[in-house]
Structure 1
Amino acid sequence: MDFESLFKLRGIRVTRFRLKLLAALREAGRPLSYQEMKGLMGREADKVTFYRNLEALCRAQVVHRVLGLDGAFRYCANDVSSHRCPGNHPHALCLRCGRMWCLKGEEMPRLEVPEGFRVEGKQLVVFGVCPDCEGEGRMDGVMSGRCL
C-alpha cells in the first residue's frame, strides 16, 4: 500500500512533509531520534513541526515511539500489514552511540495488572553496547542472537 492511501485509510491529512518523514523512517528500518531524522531530512522543518507530525502519525498508528534511557523518544514506522498492536515488541538500545533497534521477532512479556487498571501501552528496552561500538562489525537490524 502506498503512503498516501495509508494516510487516507488512517484518517490523517496527506502532506509532503509527512510523506517524506514516513519514507525516511521506513528506509531506516529502526527507531530514529529527532536528531537522526533531522540529519536525514535536512532543514525541512523546525522541531515543533517534526514533533507535531510525528504525534499525528503515532495517533494514526502509522508510527510508534519508544522512550530511551536518555529521555529522548525514538520513532519507527509500523508494520501496517500486522493486526497486532503497533510497536508491541521489545527494543535494543546502544548506550554508546544511542542507536535503537526493534526486536520484532520477540514477544512482549505478559503482565498481571490490578483489576480495573487500563493499560495504554508498554515498552521494554534492552540496553548495552552494539557490535559497531565494540568493534565487532555491523548490526543489520537484528541483535546477534544471544539470549538474555
Structure 2
Amino acid sequence: MRRGIVFMLDALVAVVLAVMALAVVAQLLSLRTGEWYKEIALYNYAQDFMTSRDKDGTLKGTFDQTDADAQITLNNLMAIQIPPNMVARINVTVCRYQSGFVCDRNFTAGQSSSSRTKSVVRRIFTDTNNSKYGVAVMEVWYK
C-alpha cells in the first residue's frame, strides 16, 4: 500500500508539471498573434521614422519651410519609409520663444485610419540659436 501512494504522488507531480509546461508553451505561442504584438510593430516603424527625420534634419527643416512645403516633404518621406500595409499621420507644432512661448504654426501630413490598433510616437526638436522648438506627434495604423 505504501508503494502505491508514492507512485501516485510521482505521477501527480509529473502531470502537474506537464500541464504547467503546456500552458507556458501555449501562452508563448499566443503572444505573437496578440494585439500588443501588432502595436509593437507600429511603434517601431513610427519610432524609426521619427528618429530618421530627426537625424537627417527634416524636422528642424520645418522651421524654415512653409507649412505646405513641410507637408509635401513629410508625405513623400512617409510614402517611402512607412510600409504599404500601414497608414501614418504626423502633426507638427512649431513654437518660438519671445518673452514666452508662442505656438503659431501647426500642420498635419499623411492620413488617418479608423483602425483600432494604432501607436503614437512623440518627438521634440529644437533650434536653440533661433529660440524655436517643435513637437511632432506621429500616429501609425494598420490599413
Smaller-chain TM-score range?
Answer: under 0.3
Q: Which has the higher helix share?
A: 2
Q: What TM-score, normalized by structure 1, do the two folds share?
A: 0.22
Of structures 1 and 2, the larger Rg is shown by 2
Q: What TM-score, normalized by structure 2, do the two folds share?
A: 0.23
Greater relative contact order, per chain length (Cα 8 Å cut-off, separation 6+): 2
